[in-house]
A and B are shown apart, each in its own frame.
Chain A
Amino acid sequence: MRVTTLSVALIFFVLAGCAGTVDVTKTVKGAYNPTNPNDVEILMTRPAKPYVELGSVTVNGFKPGDNAEMHNAIRAKSAPLGADAVILTHQGLINNGLAIV
């Protein structure tokens, strides 16, 4: 199974609106077919099996307690890039533009 990894910077806004924002930057050469968002894995560690890094993802606009919903947002927005998995690398709080990590 091909395992694909995205570096993720997760940023929680203290005050979230009605929608969060996901920003995806592609770094890989070429294109991959979109995957099923339901199958995109959220990982906290790098997988042992070989993988190709497709790009990076930044998320904001989610309340600190809404982790699972934010993970679904990451799944939904990483699937069009062809991701099988996303590795969470950073997360923290932003209040008035000041990062509290």
Chain B
Amino acid sequence: MASTIIDIPWSEPIVPAVSDPAWEAEVKRRAGSVAETYRRIAPVPWLRELCLTIDTSRLQFLSRHLLNVVKMVTSQENSCRYCYGAARAYMRVMGYSESYIGRIERETQHAELDEKERAVIQFCRNLVRSNPRPAGPEREALIRLGFTQPAVTELAFMIAGGCIFNRVTTLIACPPEHAFEQFAYGPLGRMLGLVAPVLRIFGGRTPRAAVAAAAAPAEMENAPFERIFAVLSPLPSAVVLLRTALQDAMASPLLPRRTKALMVGVVGRSLDCNFCQREAMSLSAGDGLTEADVEASLAALGSPKLEPYENSLLTWVRDTVRYQPEAIQQQTRVLSAEIGNLALLEAIGVAALANGVARLAMLLE
């Protein structure tokens, strides 16, 4: 059962906060304030950029109201104490009543939720859980309810983005934003909540993001992960975000490329995502491994041909697909002692990204 905030056990932070004034100024400029997560992931440039871009991405087809609901449900399903607490507090500040939030959390079929909202919540829960991963029929069901194809794509992207962000904050055990939560439930937050519904009416639908359509350069048509970018074409900014993140993650020198590709393959196999497994195969074969080695490593979650720390990473990344926060945080702490905080942050980023991409790949099926 999806937990409520008080049920989510959360351990002490696994990586320390790092002071980087230039980065913090950049976060403040783009997001308004510097959340705790950004201080802890600061040492890995591609990861911090990915998280900040997800956090500040703008909607094209869905209403802000649905985004608020999706963010909260996704973080609840991912049992992310940090994001769930922040998303819930944000909803309070935006004027949602406690009983409305409670009913979304408890999945109570309620008259306040219309058919489309209920369908979105159910789709969101199903995609996060991916047991099994929803596919064509679930997308069709949303379209029958009146959502456009681009809106469904955007919905899947928002959920996948949530899965990425939630994993990053869960795997580093980021301390919750208690100050913001206290503000949201205090008198000032309640006052803000009284005027926010009016603002919501005017800001219900955000204008399309002014990002040029990102067509793949001819030489990249067969590049890794290109097929997923094709289905994301109604969302040019999402294409840019994901393509940049995947390229930068694979190019980063903190962990070998083959290790990261194998990690994507393990997540893909766990979620029965053929797309991710194929991409992992093409990325890792050649880096000291044959295709047969890659297949054997995925089948056994390790191989004598891999370094011990690579074997540890494959076992660990499998458990980032479905987890209990306390248990995965314990495993992550053990891994940190083996590979160090810098490599760990990259591993966390790759695990999160792989989980997001594998869920998003439902758009291909």
**Chain B binds chain A:** no
Interface residues of A (CB under 8 A from B): none
Q: Residues of B with Cβ closer than 8 Å to A? A: none
